[in-house]
Structure 1
Amino acid sequence: MNVLQEEMILPNGVLLSNRIAKSAMSENLSNKHHEPTPVLINAYKVWSKSGAGLLITGNIMIDSNAIGEPRNVVVENRKNIETLKEWAESVKGTNTQLWAQINHPGRQAMEQINSSLKAPSAVPLKTGGRKNATKKVPQLLNENEILEIIEAFAHTAIILKEAGFSGVQIHGAHGYLVSQFLSPYTNSREDKWGGTLENRSRFVVEVYRKIRERVGSDFPIGIKLNSTDFQKGGFSEEESMEVVKILSKEGIDLIEISGGTYEAPAMMGKRKESTIKREAYFIDYIEKVRKITTTPLMLTGGFRTVSVMRDAVASNQLDIIGIARPFAVFPNIANEICNESRLNFITNIKKTGVKAIDSAMNIIWYEAQIKRIGQGKKPNPNLSGWSVFLNYAWLILEQKLMPKTKKPVKNKA
């Protein structure tokens, strides 16, 4: 048997049917009110037949006042529970699990559609890989606001469990709020939430504990964690390994390794010569982590060849192969990997030739392909970069022009 077809038992006893997972990608497919749409749900129905053991959704925001992109889904109350149930049921009748990635963007909330930005410290985002990057100085979160956000993570998680999702993943990478707390570059606090690594990791530990308290021991909780920020003065590889130890001791079920932030987007840059043949961006790091934890490890970023994926799992470097962008171009990818009907999954973006626009194309071009899948169309490898950009610009304008409404009261029941 192809080793990628082997089952994987998580620490809490939950079984994944194989070693292939769709990692989270930005979908940007909610409606104007940040509710899941039929197009989004249908994309997951297509992927449920891909043969993957695990699908992880794109960003689900926990707060309607902190949104990363114009069409992120927001789950902060039970208003859309029936639609969420439809989404969770998209994998019904398959051996595929569907986990919801839950997130708060912190200072990476898009300024064009958010009235204020909140972060651990008042450190503005520099222009980088983040589309529509802002230099606006975020407001410092106070103690009560931090506790409210921790509660919001747990509240969103229990709603998603009730809706029927198989598990949740905390987004702790790529410069979002959890990552901001972990990094000394973005966290210069002098209270119990900053300073030492123990203090900087307090936020993610409390988020995990609060979610676990709500969802119970039989519901999987994973995290996406940076190997490093790739920024001077940022979250280091050594610190990342310490956080892996901390979360493993807490009992987390799956740790997905990624790296970089929108200011230093590691997966859009060059890899070391030593890792090119092994494809994955963070393979050297995960080999070190493998030695310090027995918690299942998932690695995302760069895998494109079946033989390399197979060797990575067979050699026990990691447990789960995370694949993101190829799912947007090859929607039947896991079946093709397992039966080896296709041996590589190279994707090439059609860009505009304008550097300022093309920095965003690494995300929005794939969002457009996901939309095609959800509409019942085939992905289009020749999709125009200009048409993608203009459609995205319209979404931002449309969301910006939306009348501001009062934030809905959360259902605490």
Structure 2
Amino acid sequence: MTKLKDPITLPNGTVLANRIAKSAMSENLSNKTHEPTSILINAYKEWAKGGSGLLITGNVMIDSKALGEPMNVVIEDDRHAQQLKEWAATVKGTDTHLWVQINHPGRQAMDQINNVLKAPSAIPLKSKSRKKATTKIPKALTHDEILDIIKRFGTTARILKEAGFTGVQIHGAHGYLVSQFLSPYANVREDEWGGTFEKRAKFVLEVYKEIRSQVGPDFPVGIKLNSADFQKGGFSEEDSMKVIDLLSKAGIDLIEISGGTYEAPAMMMGNRKQSTKEREAYFIDYIEKARKITKTPLMLTGGFRTVSVMQNAIASEKLDVVGLARPYCLFPNIGNDILNESQSTFPVNINKTGVKGIDGMMNIIWYEAQIKRLGLGKLPKLKLSAWSVFFNYLFLIFKFKLMKK
């Protein structure tokens, strides 16, 4: 029986020490020049002690002109080389791998902090989360701009490899740019980058090929992919299966499954039938189907809270790695706690304000605040005030705008 503590060998020969991984979360902990701060680096020092086989960072942007959040780390050249080396070194002396999730937000950028939004097509975002509905209609990317973005993904990956990180993950889920190209709802192009499934899938394949060409065959490259967008006319489960098949044949090393966008945030609240709730994971039914079409290692994130459920999921061999996100904010030693069987459940209830429009934001910014506490050497605070988190976030937006003037 496969166990959580068992190692796993990825297609390129890289070995993860166990089946427990920290999935990416929004961190918002750069400075005005978008370099990783000591607070962010210190948070990873703490997580590195936690015994997980893999840590995946929050999304790092490949273009300073396209930000998902105000304090995203941006890596588009080697100007932050020293800070990146310090960040990569946080796992030195452990058996933990540290991968960076690299991303471009496309139309899902915050219009409060981006002068121009670019996307596959001129279709605006309609969201009720902190990435609010915008009056800004994104500009459709030109062919040359698309080629530039593809090159940027590769350049960022190469810089990260040179800094000492042990892998990268393409963010191809949750409504960001790669996800937008895949979706017939967000991508209505009629050129070589849209229209048929094959043309919509071309972008993600070219991104993968460019990264691989710049980092070589021995550096792990993974992807986070939607099981579906859960939007009418969007990226379907059938399309998702086809993408998994294409990427598996191309040689991707790890496929993490999630789902939803900021217009239909299934990744935050799940999209589960009653019959599957006892198995906790939001997208467990999907990954069982995906397992039938690929031998590429599969990582499932979303909903896992109980160790026995995680163990049963791994033992079933329908998935290879258990992805956890929010529990890492409140239980930074979670890898050891699971492997040593010192704790059986990891609940992540958050405080809320009672105001619906604000509480939707809490699903992200309350956990960002906990990560900041970790980086400051403080313990998680289960009763952290939602109102204080909200007003601190507003101040962050205000400060960012001042910095950019």
SS state at 2:4 partner: helix
Q: Partner of 1:306 in structure 2? A: 307
Native 8 Å contact 1:299 1:320 kept in 2: yes
Native 8 Å contact 1:35 1:74 kept in 2: yes
Q: Partner of 1:34 in structure 2? A: 34
Native 8 Å contact 1:98 1:167 kept in 2: yes
SS state at 1:122 partner: coil
Amino acid at match of 1:251: G
Give, in angstroms, the shift of residue 317 of structure 1.
1.1
Give, in angstroms, the shift of residue 133 of structure 1.
3.8
Give, in angstroms, the shift of residue 271 of structure 1.
2.4
Deviation track 1:172-224 (CA, whole Å, cap 9, x = no partner) reads 00000000000000000000100111000000000000000000000000000
Q: Partner of 1:379 in structure 2? A: 380
SS state at 1:351 partner: coil
Q: Partner of 2:344 in structure 1? A: 343
Q: Partner of 2:227 in structure 1? A: 227
Q: Partner of 1:94 in structure 2? A: 94
Give, in angstroms, the shift of residue 32 of structure 1.
1.7
SS state at 2:305 partner: coil
Structure 1 stretch 28-37 or stretch 158-167: which is displaced more?
A: 28-37
Q: Partner of 1:120 in structure 2? A: 120
Native 8 Å contact 2:173 2:224 kept in 1: yes
Percent of aligned positions that are identical? 70
Rounded Cα–Cα distance in structure 1 between residues aligned with 2:105 and 2:69: 10
Q: Partner of 1:293 in structure 2? A: 294
Q: Partner of 1:334 in structure 2? A: 335
Q: Partner of 1:209 in structure 2? A: 209
Q: Partner of 1:5 in structure 2? A: 5
Native 8 Å contact 2:174 2:267 kept in 1: no
Q: Partner of 1:320 in structure 2? A: 321
Native 8 Å contact 2:62 2:76 kept in 1: yes
Unmatched runs of 5 consecutive residues or more in structure 1:
405-413
CA RMSD of superposed structures (Å): 1.0
Rounded Cα–Cα distance in structure 1 between residues aligned with 2:220 and 2:44: 19
Amino acid at match of 1:367: E
Deviation track 1:235-275 (CA, whole Å, cap 9, x = no partner) reads 00000000000000000000000000000000333521021
Structure-to-structure mapping, 1:152-231, within 5 angstroms: 152-231=152-231
Unmatched runs of 5 consecutive residues or more in structure 2:
none
SS state at 1:322 partner: strand
Give, in angstroms, the shift of residue 349 of structure 1.
0.7
Pairs aligned (count)? 404
Rounded Cα–Cα distance in structure 2 between residues aligned with 1:8 and 1:130: 37
Give, in angstroms, the shift of residue 130 of structure 1.
4.2
Rounded Cα–Cα distance in structure 2 between residues aligned with 1:25 and 1:385: 18
What TM-score do the two structures reach when normalised by structure 2?
0.98
Rounded Cα–Cα distance in structure 2 between residues aligned with 1:330 and 1:365: 15
Rounded Cα–Cα distance in structure 1 between residues aligned with 2:384 and 2:30: 21
Give, in angstroms, the shift of residue 339 of structure 1.
1.0
Rounded Cα–Cα distance in structure 1 between residues aligned with 2:39 and 2:107: 29
Amino acid at match of 2:160: L
Give, in angstroms, the shift of residue 2 of structure 1.
7.9
Rounded Cα–Cα distance in structure 2 between residues aligned with 1:65 and 1:46: 31
Structure 1 stretch 304-313 or stretch 121-130: which is displaced more?
A: 121-130
Native 8 Å contact 1:130 1:263 kept in 2: no
Structure-to-structure mapping, 1:245-284, within 5 angstroms: 245-269=245-269, 271-284=272-285
Rounded Cα–Cα distance in structure 2 between residues aligned with 1:98 and 1:133: 34
Rounded Cα–Cα distance in structure 1 between residues aligned with 2:8 and 2:2: 14
Native 8 Å contact 1:8 1:15 kept in 2: yes
What TM-score do the two structures reach when normalised by structure 1?
0.96
Rounded Cα–Cα distance in structure 1 between residues aligned with 2:117 and 2:403: 18
Give, in angstroms, the shift of residue 136 of structure 1.
1.6
Q: Partner of 1:238 in structure 2? A: 238
Give, in angstroms, the shift of residue 330 of structure 1.
0.3
Deviation track 1:52-101 (CA, whole Å, cap 9, x = no partner) reads 00000001000000000011000001001000000000001000000000
Native 8 Å contact 1:129 1:264 kept in 2: no
Rounded Cα–Cα distance in structure 1 between residues aligned with 2:161 and 2:172: 20
Amino acid at match of 1:168: V
Give, in angstroms, the shift of residue 128 of structure 1.
2.4
Give, in angstroms, the shift of residue 121 of structure 1.
0.2
Rounded Cα–Cα distance in structure 2 between residues aligned with 1:371 and 1:402: 20
Amino acid at match of 1:173: A
Rounded Cα–Cα distance in structure 2 between residues aligned with 1:67 and 1:84: 19
Rounded Cα–Cα distance in structure 2 between residues aligned with 1:80 and 1:292: 41
1:78 maps to 2:43: no
Q: Partner of 2:359 in structure 1? A: 358
Amino acid at match of 2:306: T
Q: Partner of 1:107 in structure 2? A: 107
